[in-house]
Amino acid sequence: MKSFCFANEKIIASDQATLHPMDIGLIRGYGIFDFFRTAHYVPMFLNDYLDRFISSAEKTHLSLHLSKEQLAQIIKELIEKNNLEFGGIRMVLTGGVSENHFSPVDGSLFIFCEDLDFPSPSKYEKGIKLLSVEHIRAIADIKTTNYAFPVWHSATWKREGADDVLYHLNGQISESSRSNIFVIKDGNIATPDQHILHGITRKRVLELVQQTSIRPISLKEVLDADEVFITSTTKKILPVTQIDNYKIGTGLPGDLTKKLIENFSEIEKKQYQAV
């Protein structure tokens, strides 16, 4: 964590930030967050992330007393004070200290800066392995702080030599624990439409490939795909070349995936060069 954060309704030293131990964000796991990156001191796709954070607060009945413009100004100040040329910014809004220790009330807003490491270059060159697991994330369209299942299950997928999981239920896939997923077959790109978080990187890919089919996708269809990739803030576009013991396509990142990685890089450049 960097030296300065927003907590207690002001910018303070990060080591002075506190949370009441009875906050339902802690004792019930009830809260929301969002996370985005900076590049050359520019918060990437900030409007999209702030819109999603504000929407998550509304959907979870959490009070957010700052406007979008005020949040953006705080973030700008934190980037400057932390000299955050390249890094991550995390926003967290807790459920608050409730009389019945259950119902959400006015919570605490935290915004803090982090160092950020991307997957190693070899994972973009060779692709990664996912481990399929039967699960659907609760209220998946909201970016809640409840990651208990994947955190608990991560020991299993690491033991199996996987980098993450692929959620599926009743034969239909949804997403990875922290990423959206896309499949490519015969040059056609598709991505699931249900039980997913509407990721910001996913949104960029849909802009790049406007003919993407957004629909239910079976696990069998994924295993039979020519190419598979996942998208997220911290992974950008990352090829998947194995699911369980099944090789995807040739077992190496495909040409369309590699082209999308290049195109996404160009979108990012336009973001920070425009400032």
3-state secondary structure of 208: helix
pLDDT value for 106: 92
3-state secondary structure of 1: coil
- CA gap 41, 57 in Å, rounded: 26
State the CB neighbour count (10 A cutoff) for residue 207.
12
Q: What pTM value is reported for the model?
A: 0.95
State the CB neighbour count (10 A cutoff) for residue 146.
16
Q: In the numeric block, which tokens belong to residue 109?
A: 């807003």
- CA gap 237, 45 in Å, rounded: 15
Q: Which domains does the chain have, with CATH numbers?
A: 4-114 (3.30.470.10), 121-271 (3.20.10.10)
Do 172 and 216 meet the contact criterion of CB atoms below 8 Å apart?
yes
Q: How confident is the prediction along the chain (275 residues), in pLDDT tens digits per residue?
A: 679 999 999 999 999 999 999 999 999 999 999 999 999 999 999 999 999 999 999 999 999 999 999 999 999 999 999 999 999 999 999 999 999 999 999 999 999 999 998 999 999 999 999 999 999 999 999 999 999 999 999 999 999 999 999 999 999 999 999 999 999 999 999 999 999 999 999 999 999 999 999 999 999 999 999 999 999 999 999 999 999 999 999 999 999 999 999 999 999 998 888 77
- CA gap 73, 80 in Å, rounded: 11
Q: In the numeric block, which tokens belong to residue 100?
A: 């019945």
Radius of gyration of the chain (CA): 19
273, with CB counted inside 10 A (0-12, 13-18, 19+), is exposed
Q: Please name the helix (run of DSSP H) or strand (run of DSSP E) that holds residue 256, with its range, or none.
A: helix 255-273
pLDDT value for 274: 78
Q: Give residues with Cβ within 8 angstroms of 242, minimum separation 6.
A: 127, 128, 129, 130, 248, 251
3-state secondary structure of 100: coil
- CA gap 61, 246 in Å, rounded: 42
State the CB neighbour count (10 A cutoff) for residue 152.
9
